[in-house]
A and B are shown apart, each in its own frame.
Chain A
Amino acid sequence: MITRDTRVGQEFSGKAKKLTWERVWAFSGGAFDTPNWPKKNIHTDLEFAQSTGLDRVYVSATQYLGHVTELMIDIFSDGWLRGGELKNARFTRPVTEGDTITVKATVRSKVEEGPITSYALDVWCENQDGEQVLIGTALGEAAS
């Protein structure tokens, strides 16, 4: 967790998570009680994805945005859900079923103003080959 004493350059890392078919379908296939679950879309079904010109099924970026949020809550505590911001998150490389994604963050800057210390973190997601698939900037405050 980040504190007022956390220094610029401090690194954080989340747990490596493999995006199995089961987890992808659970995320993008609709509620489990949906008839004919999982619902077919570009995130769940190869034939559907190919019908739109895509060459494969791509995992919804919101699925690993959720992983980013988990790490941000670990870093900033519940305060992240009351004012935390992820800015300019860009999905730089497609993510496919079977990829393993790890969220990482480094403190880029901190500003102390009275009782509040605000932090900017470089945030990114890496796949199993160390390639960045998401990059962005997190803005949050240290827990008092």
Chain B
Amino acid sequence: MAESKSAHLMLVGEEFEPLTFSVTPELNQQYLYAEEDYHSRYIEQTEAGPPQVHPGLLLNMSNNTRSPSFTLPPGWAEIHASEDTEYLNPARVGKQLRVTWKVLDAYEKRGRRWHVLDILIEDEDGVEILRRRMTNTFSSPELTRERKG
């Protein structure tokens, strides 16, 4: 398997390796606890189908740090600065979901590297679930020392 390119070096148009995953009832319930949100729509089956996946889970699983190809040098971190989020359809527990990430913009500002990512979650039937446009920057011990002067 080819070595992955460090996230901060990704260029416009490049994509992270997609992530495919299924949400079990147990994983969904873990996020209900994390989010302190126990609405029945996330627990009970209805005429519309299995329980819905909690949006917090979808948001977290679509951070690009979840990509199998995401990597940064030791001591580096990615910092989430802002985003646009569009909810397209509910996701259902048990369905296979696929997340894709594409670099839309990459630039330097105030000594930092910034990335804008287009992120899409689709289910196994091709139903679009969630689209995000996320702006991130990067942190490293060297950069922190420079900024502290």
Contacts and interface: CB of A to CB of B under 8 A. Distances in A.
Nearest to B80: A61
Q: Majority SS of interface residues in chain B?
A: mixed
Contact of B82 (A27, A62, A91): A91
B45 interface: no
Interface in A87-143: 87-91
Contacts of A86: 83-85
A31 interface: yes
- Interface residues of B toward A: which range? 35 or more
B12 interface: no
B144 A65 contact: no
A41 to B, nearest CB: 8
Given A63-B35, A69-B56, A82-B87, A26 B80 contact: no
A51 interface: yes
B11 interface: no
B80 A66 contact: no
Contacts of A65: 56, 59, 83, 85
A52 B140 contact: yes
A62 B80 contact: yes
A85 B85 contact: yes
B25 interface: no
A94 B55 CA distance: 21
Nearest to A48: B77
Contact of B141 (A41, A51, A90): A51
B4 interface: no
- Interface residues of A toward B: which range? 35 or more
- Residue from the set B83, B142, B144 with the largest chain A CB neighbour count within 10 Å: B83
Nearest to A80: B87
Given A27-B34, A53-B141, A88 B63 contact: no
Given A26-B30, A31-B30, A53 B145 contact: yes
B64 to A, nearest CB: 11
Interface in B83-109: 83-90
Contacts of A73: 39, 55
B81 A53 contact: no
8 contacts: A52-B77, A53-B77, A53-B139, A53-B140, A53-B141, A67-B37, A70-B39, A91-B81
Interface of A: 15, 17, 22-24, 26-28, 31-32, 41-42, 49, 51-54, 60-63, 65-67, 69-70, 73, 78, 80-91
Interface of B: 26-27, 30-31, 33-37, 39, 41, 52, 54-56, 59-60, 63, 65, 74-77, 80-90, 139-145
Which 7 A-B pairs have CB atoms at the shortest separation, nearest pair first?
A66-B56, A53-B144, A27-B34, A26-B34, A52-B77, A62-B59, A69-B55
